[in-house]
Amino acid sequence: MDLALQLLFTGIGIGAVYALVALGFVLIFRATNVVNFAQGEFSMVAAYLMVVFAVDLGWPYWLSFLLALAGMALLGAIFNLGVYYPLRHRTFLPVIIATIGASILLANSVLAIYGPQPQVLEGWFETPGIQLGPVYLDSQYLLIIAVTIVLVIFNYWFFEHTMLGKKLQATSQDKEMASLLGISVSTMIMITFIYSAVLGGLAGILVAPVLFVSIQMGSTIALKAFAATIIGGFGDVAGAIIGGLALGIIETFGAAYISVPYKDGFAFLVLVLFLVFRPQGIFGERVAEKA
């Protein structure tokens, strides 16, 4: 029982990371109808930026953190201009192939610069964690969970209660109508990419002290996050968060009770089960193309 509680805590912590990346997926999907296959690389690049600023250059953690997020905002903008925007009038297939190309480019550029050795990033806090009854609460996991909760609330407030959020929503629902109402659709899409890159980067920075900072972390996180969006219901914000948490928990328990080397395989198994038996996910509705 104690072990189960401990695993539950770890699972929620790791699931929160998937949820953040999944949120980035969903926001871009809603704005552009395209899945950004480089979303996971945003997390990876941000973690490496942290290593550059905080470890290699030895700058203060908070400053490195802000600089890394600023770097992600810049990367999001470049990504939009270089990968998505030129292809915006094409069908989805060229666009996803281009984002896959971008993902390969990002991962291997970092590999070429940093080499294959995983890097180590310290956590934010000096204290490693606290013992609460039978459960040991790792401080980094606590931080991840706290940040995720704050971001979910911020996200809700931003999209439901600010003008900019409402404009973004309008763009994702009907681009033509939005542009007729004087909303600059290309600006909204730009903001979406920047916001998603920052979200993905945040997830990467938060999870880096728990995992190693490695080239593979991007694709691993992206797969999990994608599975999370399917479990929750594709394109659904609440679904992405719940799917992410569920996947984190399933994976942690699977690794503890079934098999460690196949830890990364559970996400795939859950993904296929959902695709076969409930492709619309927990919350989603199936939508048909209009004839």
Partner 1 sequence: MSAPSENMPMAVSAARAKPLLLRHLPYFIGAAVLVALAATIQFDGYILNILMEATTFAIAVFGLSVVLGLCGQINLAQAAFFGLGAYAVGIGTSDYHVSYWFCLVGGCIIALLAGALLGMSTLRLGGHYLAMVTISFQQIVTLVMINTIWLTHGPDGVSNIGRPALFQSAQSYLAFCVGMLALVGYVVWHLSDTRLGRAMRAVRDNELAAGVVGIDVFRTKVSAFALSAVLGGLAGGLFAGGFAYVSPDQFSFAESVVFLTMSLLGGVASPIGSAIGTGLLILIPEWLRFLKSVPGLYLAIYGLSVILIIRYMPDGIWGFFNLATGRWRAKAKLRGAGPALRLAPAAVAGDNVLEVKGLSKHFGGLKAVDEVDIAVRRGGVHALIGPNGSGKTTTLNVLSGLYKATAGKVVLDGTDVTEMPPHQRAAAGLGRTFQNIRLFRSMTALENVVIGAERPGNALVGHGEDALNERAMSALTFVGLGSRANELISSFSYGHQRLIEIARALAANPTLLLLDEPAAGLNSSEKLELHELLKRIAAQGLTILIIDHDMTLVSEAAQHITVLNFGRRIADGESMAVLRHPDVVSAYLGSD
Which residue ranges make up the site for partner 1 (CB under 8 A)? 34-35, 37, 82-83, 86-87, 90, 92-94, 96-98, 100-112, 115-116, 215, 219, 223, 226-227, 230, 234, 261-262, 264-265, 267-268, 271-272, 275-276, 279, 288-289, 291
Output the DSSP codes for 55-122.
IIS---HHHHHHHHHHHHHHHHHHHIIIIIGGGTTS-HHHHHHHHHHHHHHHHHHHHHHH-SSPB---
Give the nearest distance from C-beta 270 to partner 1 in angstroms: 10
Dihedral sign for Cα atoms in the order 47, 50, 55, 56: positive
Q: Which is nearer to partner 1, 139 or 216 (CB)?
A: 216
Task: Give least dist CB 261 to partner 1, A.
Answer: 4
User: Rounded distance, CA 118 to CA 209, Å?
Assistant: 12
CB of 50 to partner 1, least distance (A): 20
Q: How many CA atoms lie within 13 A of 169 on its CB side?
A: 14
115 Cα distance to chain centroid: 24
Q: To which residue do tokens 């659709």 refer?
A: 185
Q: Which is nearer to partner 1, 108 or 162 (CB)?
A: 108
Shortest distance in whole angstroms from residue 281 CB to partner 1: 11
- Residue placing its CB nearer to partner 1 in the complex, 145 or 222: 222
Closer of 1 and 291 to partner 1 (Cβ): 291
What burial class does residue 285 get, using C-beta atoms within 10 Å of its C-beta: 0-12 exposed, 13-18 middle, 19+ buried?
exposed
The C-alpha angle with vertex 173 and arms to 161 and 78, in degrees rounded to 5, equals 85
CB of 15 to partner 1, least distance (A): 18
Least distance (Å) between residue 84 CB and partner 1:
11
Residue 215: CB minimum distance to partner 1, A: 7
3-state secondary structure of 282: coil
Nearer to partner 1, 167 or 224 (CB): 224
- For partner 1, the closer CB: 209 or 218: 218
Q: In this complex, which beta carbon is closest to partner 1, that of residue 36 or of residue 148?
A: 36
**Looking only at Cα atoms, what is the longest distance across the chain?**
59
Q: CB nearer to partner 1: give 209 or 235.
A: 235
Residue 211 C-beta: closest distance to partner 1, Å: 16
Token duo for residue 261? 């080397």
Torsion of CA 229, 234, 236, 240, to 10 degrees: 0
Q: Which helix (H) or strand (E) holds 132?
A: strand 129-132
